[in-house]
Every structure is written in C-alpha cells, then in structure tokens.
C-alpha cells in the first residue's frame, strides 16, 4: 500500500461518541452560560467549520480549553460502553497487516482512547496515541510525528471526520482521508478537497489497490 503510516482521529472516526458528547455538553453548558445543543440541530451543525460552530453556539475561544478538558474528563466514566463505528474493527485489522505504523491523533484524552481500544480489543493494533489539548493543534502534532518516525509525508495518511482534520493535514503537507460518518457532512468535507473521501469503512480497502 502507498501509505505505510496511518494516523486516525478518534471521535467520530473510530468511536461513535457524538451523542454522548452532546449529552455531556448539555450537562455542563449552563455552568458556562452556554445554551444546550438539541438533536434536531445536528444536521445543520454538521455543515459548519469549527470557527462557525463556536460562533453559532456563542462559545468564546477562551472557554474552549476548559470545556474540552471538562468534557473529556466526564467522558472517561462511560467510554468503554460507547460503540465502535460499525465496520471499523474489521477494516482496522485488515489495514494494519498492510502498514508499518498505526497511530491515533486526537483532541480527546489519551487515557480515554486507551480504555476504549482495550474494551474493543483493538489496542494492540496501534503503535502510539497522541493527544492535543488544542482543537486547532493537530498540524503541529502531525509534523512532529513525521519527524519522530523519520517518515516522508507522502507515505503518511491522516484520517478524520471534521473540516479541521482536513485543514490540519493540508497545513502539515500530509495526505488526508475524510470520512463522512462522523461530525461534518459529506458536502462540507468535499469542499475542502481531501485526498480521499470515504462514505463507509469498507471504502478504506480501496487503498489496498495501490499495493
């Protein structure tokens, strides 16, 4: 396969955490003076970039780190009970046999990811779990991962479900596969021109055709 190092986002890409995240957000929103997010809004919100989403929900940038830390901490209590994206387990096992390095880069807490992967029998597939406390800090981390493993950008592939994932990979000069089953919509992801756009986990197997 062309890509010898696959790096995955976690929330919405591997783990189906959207509804639990919304529930936690709504629980703590009153403490921050922020309104709740209702289920019927999600279809509209899926078209928004991160900055547009924060503006729509009237969340000041200065409150984001605290919200993120609080939310990921609360998520830990139920993380092992959350579902894997349907079909991802089989696809991850297949892809792993064709690659040299497997990793995760997420805005979630590394401990959460570790617990989730162990609960689903997938922890052994991954060489590393990297976490960034900044929602917009993934480009720097992708560059650091490339240097740490002495990789060429062209042999790496980042996989994510959000516009910010696509932009981070492009900023780092690393190919990006956007998946449409997570937070952002297919239309919004496509407009960012990712290298690959997948509608279901089985679409990853197309990458094996490049072997």
Q: Which of 9, 11, 161, 165 is catalytic?
A: 9
Quick one: tokens of 50? 């991160």
Q: Find the radius of gyration of the CA atoms of the chain.
A: 16
Whether 64 and 84 have beta carbons less than 8 Å apart is answered as no
Query: Nearest Cα to 2, choosing from 146, 167, 172, 175?
Result: 175
Burial 2-19 (b: 16+ CB within 10 A, else e): ebbbbbbbbbbbbbbbbe
- Give Cβ neighbours of residue 5 (< 8 Å, ≥ 6 apart): 99, 100, 101, 102, 103, 149, 151, 155, 156, 157
Place of tokens 């900044």: 134
Q: Does 195 qualify as catalytic in the annotation?
A: no
- Give Cβ neighbours of residue 77 (< 8 Å, ≥ 6 apart): none
Whether 136 and 162 have beta carbons less than 8 Å apart is answered as no
Catalogue the active-site residues: 9
């Amino acid at each position: 396969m062309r890509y010898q190092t696959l790096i995955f986002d976690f929330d919405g890409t591997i783990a189906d955490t959207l509804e639990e995240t919304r529930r936690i957000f709504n629980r703590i929103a009153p403490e921050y003076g922020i309104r709740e997010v209702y289920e019927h809004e999600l279809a509209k919100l899926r078209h928004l970039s991160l900055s547009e989403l924060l503006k729509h929900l009237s969340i000041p940038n200065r409150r984001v780190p605290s919200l993120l830390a609080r939310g990921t901490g609360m998520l830990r209590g139920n993380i092992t009970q959350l579902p894997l994206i349907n079909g991802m387990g089989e696809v991850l096992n297949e892809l792993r046999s064709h690659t040299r390095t497997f990793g995760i880069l997420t805005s979630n807490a590394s401990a959460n990811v570790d617990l989730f992967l162990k609960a689903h029998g997938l922890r052994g597939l991954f060489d590393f779990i990297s976490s960034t406390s900044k929602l917009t800090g993934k480009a720097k981390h992708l560059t650091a991962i490339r240097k740490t493993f002495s990789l060429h950008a062209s042999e790496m592939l980042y996989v994510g479900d959000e516009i910010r994932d696509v932009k981070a990979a492009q900023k780092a000069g690393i190919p990006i596969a956007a998946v449409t089953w997570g937070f952002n919509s297919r239309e919004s992801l496509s407009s960012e021109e990712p290298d690959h756009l997948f509608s279901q986990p089985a679409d990853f197997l197309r990458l094996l055709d490049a072997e």
